[in-house]
């Protein structure tokens, strides 16, 4: 039961705030607050509902009561992390303590607000959270294109890629792999085309973004 309330037609990049609270009046109050500033809202009554729902495709954040039926907010945070879902989280609590707060913040929470929550504090926190998610998504998107192109490389092409971006000359790569230099040159061309790199500098930056293990890396003091 998602008190799905959409004020206007949501466009592709409108952020969504997802509220998880077992108290209906709290859900309603928060929903009103966020809608009043033009934010999209989805409300849930339990942790399980959120885990079942698919994460939104637009910048979003979670507003989470620590005390939830079944698993606690902290458990949900841990579960989401395990499921590799990185939506920024804002906690609210009526009876929180410091160890709880520390644990939540260490696990990457954006904020941890105590009831009664001042509207402005909540809106500030949400804005920061949305912004963080937007950045993460942008980063993810730009890397995912590169990653999928990398996946399309054959094993041999990857071998050569890693040696080439390590700074070895074609002949050195050839020696390393027991190949003829001409073979390396040809692979190199294939790699540049497949990766869509228009220069070696590009290629190096792509591998850096992907975190490709460098066979022979340095950067000495």
Partner DNA sequence: CTACAGGACATACCTGCGTATAGGTCGCGC
Partner DNA sequence: GCGCGACCTATACGCAGGTATGTCCTGTAG
The count of chain residues that interact with DNA, using the rule CB under 7 A, is 22
- Give the residues lining the site for its own copies (CB under 8 A): 93, 96-99, 101-102, 105-106, 111-112, 114, 141-142, 145-146, 164-168, 196, 198-202, 204-206, 208-209, 218-221
Interface with DNA (CB under 7 A), residue from 81, 85, 169, 175: 169
Of 101 and 157, the one with the shorter C-beta distance to DNA is: 157
- Specify burial of residue 118 (Cβ count, 10 A radius: 0-12, 13-18, 19+): exposed
Whole-number Å distance between alpha carbons of 198 and 195: 9
Determine contact, residues 146/204, Cβ cutoff 8 Å. Answer: no
Whole-number Å distance between alpha carbons of 195 and 211: 15
- Specify burial of residue 92 (Cβ count, 10 A radius: 0-12, 13-18, 19+): buried
Structure tokens at 54: 């698919």
Is residue 170 near DNA by the rule CB under 7 A? Answer: yes
CB of 37 to its own copies, least distance (A): 22
Is residue 216 near DNA by the rule CB under 7 A? Answer: no
Smallest CA-to-CA distance from 61 within 114, 11, 20, 4 is with: 20
Interface with DNA (CB under 7 A), residue from 171, 196, 208, 216: 171
Of 128 and 177, the one with the shorter C-beta distance to DNA is: 177
Site string for DNA, 175-214 (x = CB under 7 A): --xxxx-xx-xxxxx--xx------x--------------
Of 38 and 196, the one with the shorter C-beta distance to its own copies is: 196
Structure tokens at 138: 């942008």
CB of 115 to its own copies, least distance (A): 11
């Amino acid at each position: 039961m998602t008190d799905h309330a959409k004020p206007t037609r949501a466009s592709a990049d409108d952020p969504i705030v997802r509220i998880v609270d077992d108290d209906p009046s709290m859900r309603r109050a928060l929903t009103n607050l966020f809608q009043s500033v033009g934010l999209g809202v989805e409300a849930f009554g339990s942790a399980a509902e959120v885990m079942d729902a698919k994460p939104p495709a637009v910048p979003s954040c979670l507003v989470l009561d620590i005390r939830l039926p079944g698993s606690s907010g902290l458990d949900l945070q841990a579960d989401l992390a395990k499921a590799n879902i990185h939506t920024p989280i804002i906690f609210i609590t009526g009876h929180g303590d410091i160890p709880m707060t520390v644990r939540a913040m260490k696990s990457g929470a954006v904020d941890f607000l105590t009831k009664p929550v001042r509207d402005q504090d909540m809106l500030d926190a949400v804005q920061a959270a949305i912004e963080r998610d937007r950045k993460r998504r942008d980063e993810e998107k730009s890397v995912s294109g590169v990653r999928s192109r990398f996946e399309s490389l054959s094993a041999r092409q990857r071998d050569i890629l890693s040696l080439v971006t390590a700074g070895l000359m074609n002949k050195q790569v050839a020696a390393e792999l027991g190949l003829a230099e001409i073979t390396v040159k040809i692979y190199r061309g294939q790699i540049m085309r497949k990766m869509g790199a228009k220069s070696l500098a590009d290629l190096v930056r792509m591998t850096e973004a992907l975190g490709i293990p460098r066979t022979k890396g340095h950067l000495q003091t």
